[in-house]
Structure 1
Amino acid sequence: MVHGTPGYRGTRVGITQGSGPRHQSDHGAGEQLPRIRVPFWCAKGHETQLVFLKLPDEQIPRTWDCPKCGLPASRDPGHPASTRPEDEIFKSHLDYVKERRSSQDAEVVLAGALERLRARGVLPDQLLGDA
């Protein structure tokens, strides 16, 4: 079955309920969804104001990462959120790999990968300076 409307449409904060896509001229039709602005403060005093749908208080997050410094921010300016323990700080893929493998293991894996590339002719020895 073929529909005359383009793709799927979703809703987000700021979109009016029952309205069409933004590019249509009738986007003023419909009922405005209720929103609230919630401030968060980090330990360094940065204030961040976020907009949420009007939800019960227990459904709005108590903490939020500060976009300026990355520290946790709380909704109470007098009591900043406690800092994260070291094990909760963001880790890259390489950090996780380093936790699982030693430098010697990495050398063995790298040597094996290079050998397979050379065997397939993908990686000529001249590029590595092994000649």
Structure 2
Amino acid sequence: MVHPASGFRGTRAGVVAGSGSSLQNNDSSSRPLPRIRVSYWCAKGHETQPVFLKMPDDQIPQTWDCRRCGATASRDGQAAAPDDPFDDGYKSHLEYVKERRSGQDAEDVLAGALEKLRSRGVLPDQLLGDT
């Protein structure tokens, strides 16, 4: 349920002109608002075509996120080329963790986990390579 103070009150996909409450106003005079499809191209050549209400050109965004690779796409197709041609915009969980933690943090977490396992008797006191 939409909160009455919400900015989306009385709107739905396919909103029609002149209808405050489109669910109860089934006038034959109501007509869909004009829409336009705008093309955006990313540096990899992917085309994205979002649909906007017809509005002045300066109100339509100049850039959009590519739906296929997530890179920035522009209307003129002159998006900046990615620094790494093999970067697909996807980050693994490990990459996000490496952004948040230093190498020393990782060593501390590993040492703590090994200590817990040793205290439970799961691991021997000395492992190969463990000093």
TM-score normalized by structure 1?
Answer: 0.54
- Residue 80 (structure 2) aligned to one of 79, 82, 86: 82
Could you say if the C-alpha distance between residues 63 and 101 of structure 1 is closer, same or farther in structure 2, counting changes exceeding 3 Å? same
- Residues 23-79 of structure 1 show CA distances to partners (whole Å, capped at 9, x for unaligned) of x89497744222211111223333221101122212211112222233322212xx4
- The question of whether the paired residues in 2 share the 8 Å contact of 1:39 and 1:49 is answered with yes
Q: Are 1:72 and 2:72 counterparts? A: yes
Shift of 1:130: 4.0
TM-score normalized by structure 2?
Answer: 0.54
Task: Write 1 or 2 for the structure with the bigger share of strand.
Answer: 1
Percent identical pairs in the alignment equals 55
- The question of whether the paired residues in 1 share the 8 Å contact of 2:37 and 2:52 is answered with yes
Could you say if the C-alpha distance between residues 101 and 47 of structure 1 is closer, same or farther in structure 2, counting changes exceeding 3 Å? closer
CA distance in 2, matches of 1:72, 1:13: 26
1:103 corresponds in structure 2 to: 103
CA distance in 2, matches of 1:102, 1:41: 37
Q: How many residues align?
A: 108
Where do 5+ consecutive residues of structure 1 fail to align? 1-5, 119-124
Shift of 1:97: 4.2
Task: Write 1 or 2 for the structure with the bigger share of helix.
Answer: 1
- The question of whether the paired residues in 2 share the 8 Å contact of 1:16 and 1:28 is answered with no
Could you say if the C-alpha distance between residues 44 and 99 of structure 1 is closer, same or farther in structure 2, counting changes exceeding 3 Å? closer
Alignment of 1:1-131 (within 5 A): 7-8=2-3, 9-12=9-12, 14-17=14-17, 18=19, 19-20=22-23, 26=26, 30-76=30-76, 79-83=77-81, 95=95, 97-109=97-109, 111=112, 125=120, 129-130=122-123
RMSD: 3.9
